[in-house]
Chains A and B, each alone.
Chain A
Amino acid sequence: MTDAGSPQVIQKVVLKNFRRFRDTKIEFSPGLNILVGDNEAGKSTVLEAVNLALTSRWQGKFFATELAPHFICLEATNEYLQAVRDGDAPEPPEIAVELFLVESADTVKLKGTNNSLGEDTCGLRITAHFDKESFAEEYQKYVEDKDSVQSVPTEYYRVEWYDFGAHPVNPRAIKVSASLIDASRIRLQSGADYYLQRIITESLDPKQRAQLSRAFRTLQESFADDDSIRTINEALDASQQNITDKRLTMEINASQANQWDSALAPHLDSLPLHFAGSGEQNKLKILLALARKVEDAHLILIEEPENHLSFSSLNKLIEKIGAKCEKRQVVISTHSSFVINKLGLDRLMLLSGEDVTRTTDLPADTLDYFKKLSGYDTLRLVLAKAVILVEGPSDELIVQRAYRDKYGKLPIENGIDVINVRGLSAKRFLDLAVPLARRVAVVNDNDGDFDQKVAKRYAGYSAHSFITIHASDNNDLETLEPQIVASTGLTTVNTVLAKTFTSDDEASQYMVQNKTDSALAFFETDQLIIWPQYIQDAVDGIGE
């Protein structure tokens, strides 16, 4: 997939002291971006932050009213609190979210150098900082008793929203918009789902919007002309004279709060949308957002599309996203290997700590491989701290045991994933590990031909120090079982398996025929085992 021609609205977002980010710059590619990361890595924060810079809203509500101490990153908070306790006079930490946009006729008025990188570009910047002019006195009182200061006093903060030209943002004048679709937070109150209403509104052109609001007003007005309402109003008017001198009537509330967009609710098959299942609502929102006119500078942010959807619905939805996002810039956060395999592993942005790694330039056949075998758990490799690739379930058990022998814990407890891959697929995983610089140890049988089956097969990865290949060069011991018999000795093997083999060959043959049972016995035994050197090397190396 090439980026030329793919649409791009946003270039990057810079987050300072915001949520879990101290100082992070996240760049986006044109077209599709798939954001992955562990729980708590801040995927939602990134999507919400992009939307925040564009709308000044956080989860649908104004940021200025939502601002609370937990928006400020822990590190900055602790530094501030420590400095207060030390008797210094630290400035309360400032939050900044800066969104860098691609220059176009729509955005050029937002251009300037008023951003933390000093770049001459178009963009929006929302900050929350201590309001020196209004609260200097209150703040002095607040920090007077320094031991009582337990949090950053965000009640004395001011939120400012500027473009990079340093002009206060007029939200209606921003020609760039985003649909943020968050499946995990579907709001169910009638007609008040901000995001949904916005998406529907946005899919109408100005003329259609005007028609809709005129039709709604006509409807409101005709209500008052209804005969029964007129009778009721006359009766009311006659009965109220003890209460007030003014005329009392019943009318439809025509105030701003009761515009068509809050009174009308979308229906699916005559069922109000908020009565439909969450999955269905979610799907509809995504599809509406994708259906917008292509000319618009419009960005789509989707949080975990896999939520609330059955596998087959998800499959259909992903196909649609895949087809539509060639004309749109889309950022998707996901926990699903299926979603990333289907949409393209080369679009990954891996978020960990303050860093973002991306998987560009993956070989086409590797991409294709994962697209076809979309059941593969690629996210395990993406998210693990380090990975040991093994060739089968018995190898997996042995490697786990060897690891526990050395470190006293199973590998997964240290964030190390042992993944079982067959035959040539190991190379596909390595292709993915290269751009991520993921530490991978490959444990392989030599199958009687070390040169061909190991040395040559993996020669292409020798340049990467984070990838190590482990196999025995003793071609007489072709697989794991004879290797174990040779390394730990016949006596131990007999004890572990409760057998009385008389030769190494006999033991090996039995173990090969009962692969999983034997491996399980070795995994569970309390005997001390001497593991084959190449396995020991893999285990030793991965823990570094």
Chain B
Amino acid sequence: MASANEVVFASAGSGKTSYLLEHALSDPNKRVLLVTYTNENLREINSRLWESHKGQPTNVETMTLFEFLLRECVKPYQTLKAEIAQIRSVNFVTDNPPFSARSDFVRYYLDSANNIYSDAVSDLACVLNAESGGKVIKRLEAIYDKLLIDELQDLAGWDLEFLLLLLQSSIQVVMVGDLRQAVYSTNRSNKNSQFRGAKLQNWIDSRVTAGECAKIEHTHSYRCIQSICDFADSVYPKFPSTTSKNTQSTDHDGVFLVYESDVDAYRESLMPQELRWDRRNKKAGLSAKNFGEVKGLAFPRVLIFPTAPILRFVEDGTTLQEVSAAKFYVAVTRARQSVGIVTNKKVTKSSLTYWTPTATTDA
């Protein structure tokens, strides 16, 4: 049987959210649930949804992944393991106690306030579905016709087990993601650890081979100009290259190195969005955002304050570790027209050119 499920690998700026919204709004008689990972992304999706529909569509619901797993999967059938309405919320702060056994339900899954450990939510959803003879999935099948999952790359561990159950259900599942942007993962447990991060590709490939979903690739970017696409692609040389559909040009387009002492001048003349790894970077300005926060956002220009490994990559192409690569990829692909990378080195092996205060003025 040909599956209606699809997995869409989409480059940054390829209009991933628009694609999901189109799916959500294509048939008002289909009950749709749109699941995403971060709260910020959920807000973004909600406001875009409102915009494109001119109001809240009655057939579409949106939730974060944890909200979905907790509300619609775990809570309704918690009585197989817990008391009626015992489980309260999700504990994102602490890990479940070491050396606890899965058979010791309360200790393994719940903290003292009856919040479920974040790593254990999808695990429990799988357990409850198995022990109830499939009631969790049956309930979802009765509620939804279509399930749209954004930020597929952030799913890991037991999330994938539960996703497999969904792929095998009567609900149409459409998953969208970019494996190069795996900056979070919802699930740190050891389950499916071989599929962490970009290796999720292998898991997806085996689903495609099993006929459980069709694979679609969106290798274009409406956002970044070609030179930014090319530079971002160089972070992940094994992925298909990206074609830019941004034909706009300004007097400062491309990827540049910015010497530390020129940062103030760069700020003043180009007003870039500054991006940093996290708040420990004190050189970035007050309005700087963390790499991890800007997924889904776009800016005309960005100025990146790199970490040491990122700088090494820029210098001589030293391969980045998984999380560094993902975060840097996200940071670079936020920009439409220009990316500045701050460095304290005056000479470089990199092919990138230095921006100089006069350069722009002269141009």
Contacts and interface: CB of A to CB of B under 8 A. Distances in A.
Interface string A113-139: 111101010000100000000000000
A504 interface: no
A118 B131 CA distance: 14
Nearest to B136: A112
A103 interface: yes
Interface stretch (B75-83, B185-193, B197-205): B75-83
B142 A103 contact: yes
B35 to A, nearest CB: 16
B32 to A, nearest CB: 14
Interface stretch (A61-69, A163-171, A385-393): A163-171
Contacts of B142: 103, 108, 111
A116 B79 CA distance: 10
B135 A120 contact: yes
Nearest to A165: B76
Contacts of B270: none
Interface in A139-180: 160, 162, 164-167
What is the predominant secondary structure among interface residues of chain B facing chain A?
A: helix
A25 interface: no
Given A103-B142, A120-B135, A111 B84 contact: no
B87 interface: yes
A109 interface: yes
A100 B87 CA distance: 22
Nearest to B88: A166
How many chain B residues sit at the interface, stated as a range, is: 10 to 19
Contact of A160 (B76, B77, B85): B85
A165 B71 contact: yes
B85 A114 contact: yes
B89 to A, nearest CB: 12
B102 interface: no
A116 B132 CA distance: 17
Interface string B63-100: 00000000110011111100011010000000000000
Given A120-B135, A162-B85, A166-B84, A112 B75 contact: yes
B265 interface: no
A50 to B, nearest CB: 20
B101 interface: no
Contacts of A167: 71, 75
Given A113-B76, A125-B84, A165-B71, 15 more contacts: A103-B142, A111-B142, A112-B76, A112-B139, A113-B80, A113-B135, A114-B75, A116-B84, A120-B132, A120-B135, A125-B85, A165-B139, A166-B84, A166-B87, A167-B71
12 contacts: A103-B142, A108-B143, A112-B76, A113-B78, A113-B79, A114-B75, A114-B78, A162-B85, A166-B76, A166-B85, A167-B71, A167-B75
Interface of B: 71-72, 75-80, 84-85, 87, 132, 135, 139, 142-143
Interface of A: 103, 108-109, 111-116, 118, 120, 125, 160, 162, 164-167
